[in-house]
Each structure stands twice: as structure tokens, then as C-alpha cells.
A and B are shown apart, each in its own frame.
Chain A
Amino acid sequence: QVQLVQSGAEVKKPGASVRISCEAFVYTFPAYYIHWVRQAPGQGLEWVGWINPDTGDTQYVQKFQGRVTMTTAKSINTAYMELRNLKSDDSATYYCGRGVQGFGDLWGQGTLVTVSS
């Protein structure tokens, strides 16, 4: 079944880093971008950035520049998003999505990141 499966929930202290994985199943991984969005509790969706798994090209929303890094491991069909210097308002569910043009046609189940001292 075509799907994206994300890593499990994380609890981190302020200032720490988190790395979330997103594994793709049953489609040609390099053929589609991977987008990352997040959703704070009770709030709407917010774009974080995207990566082209074929070339490694990335584009990040400016507010995350310098704190986020997106990478992929083509050999295992997996994308990663690392967010550094975590703050309490980074607490959110993070979703990876398979990108077609500029939208996501398939989304992972989400990874809850809680930032708390």
C-alpha cells in the first residue's frame, strides 16, 4: 500500500534538537518531493519546507531558516527533518507529505513533538 510512515512521538527539552523520519512505501521515492508541515495543538497547518529526494535540493520557510535541515536517504526511501534549538512553541504534530507540484497528495500519520522543561 502506498504510504508514508513517520517515527514516533518525541519529548524534548528547550534548546534540544529533534529528528523525525518519514519512510516511503510502494512508490518511486526519488520521483516526488517531500513536504513537511506542522500543526500546533488546536491550530491550523503551517508549511515548514520541502526536499527533492532526487537532487537533495531544499527550500525552507524563512522563519525556520537556520534551525531546520531536511535530508533524505534514497537507499532506504526515507526522509528526515531535523529541528534544532527547540522552543516551547515548536510543540506540534509534524507531518511529511508526498509532493506533487506544490501540494501533498499523500501524508504520513504525523509525529507529535512536545517541548517541555
Chain B
Amino acid sequence: EIVMTQSPATLSVSPGERATLSCRASQSLGSNLAWYQQRPGQAPRLLIYGASTRAKRVPDRFTGSGSGTEFTLTISSLLSEDFAVYYCQQYNDWPHTLGQGTKVDLK
């Protein structure tokens, strides 16, 4: 099973600042990686797939990058609605696995 490791566990950021979230895979994924946002009490929301393709209606302040085993989600200028937990998920191999999440909270 591919292990996904996200860092940091918590990221404290001020509105308007940039946030950089990391995700590492225990094996190469190519570009078969997705990012989700989950706000409290809500379902996951797809942000990025194919490591760098934004899903429909996702603002361009969200950028995914990376390939192989190292991936990054960058939020260029945080808005209040971006404070949430972010998960990376690999779909290169079964079972699909997710990281433990990075919580982006208010500094």
C-alpha cells in the first residue's frame, strides 16, 4: 500500500498570505494525485487532479505541482474561506490512499 505523508500537520497563516502544503508518496505516482479541501462539517471538495489540473470552479489561487513522489499545493493569497483541512490522495495504485491532512488555520 502506498503511504502518503503530508506536512506540516498544521499551518498557521494570516489572510492574504501564501500557504504551501506538501505531500510525499512512498512510491512514484507519476501524476496520479488529487487534492481535496474539507471545511468543518462538510464533504470533501476536489481541488486538483492529475497533480496540477484545477477542478471546475476552483479559483486560480490554488495551484498544484509536482510529480513522482513529491507534490505541493500552493494557495497564493488566503481568503477566510480557505481555512480548512487539505488532503492529498493517490490513485496510481489500489488501494487508493490519502494523507493524514494539513489543517490551515488562522494565525
Interfacial residues of chain B within 32-74, with CB under 8 A of chain A in the complex: 32, 34, 36, 38, 43-46, 49, 55-56
**Complex CA–CA separation, A61 to B93 (angstroms):** 12
Q: Which of B44, B87, B95, B100 contacts A61 (CB 8 A)?
A: B95
Chain B interface, DSSP helix/strand/loop, else mixed: loop
Bound-state Cα–Cα, A61 to B95, Å: 6
B98 touches A47 (CB 8 A): yes
B7 contacts the other chain (CB 8 A): no
Q: Contact at B87–A45, with CB atoms within 8 Å?
A: yes
CB-CB nearest in chain A for B95: A61
User: Contact string, B71-104, partner A, CB cutoff 8 A, digits 1/0?
Assistant: 0000000000000000101011011111111000
Interface residues on B, range: 20 to 34
CA distance A37 to B38 in the complex (A): 13
Q: Are B98 and A101 in contact (CB under 8 A)?
A: no
Bound-state CA distance A89–B45 (Å) is 25
Chain B positions near chain A (C-beta within 8 angstroms): 32, 34, 36, 38, 43-46, 49, 55-56, 87, 89, 91-92, 94-101
27 A–B contacts, CB within 8 A, in A order: A37-B44, A44-B98, A44-B99, A44-B101, A45-B44, A45-B87, A45-B89, A45-B98, A47-B98, A59-B94, A61-B95, A62-B95, A95-B44, A101-B91, A102-B32, A102-B91, A103-B34, A103-B49, A103-B89, A103-B96, A105-B49, A105-B55, A107-B43, A107-B44, A107-B45, A108-B43, A110-B43
**Chain A contacts to B: CB under 8 angstroms:** 35, 37, 44-47, 59, 61-62, 95, 97, 100-110
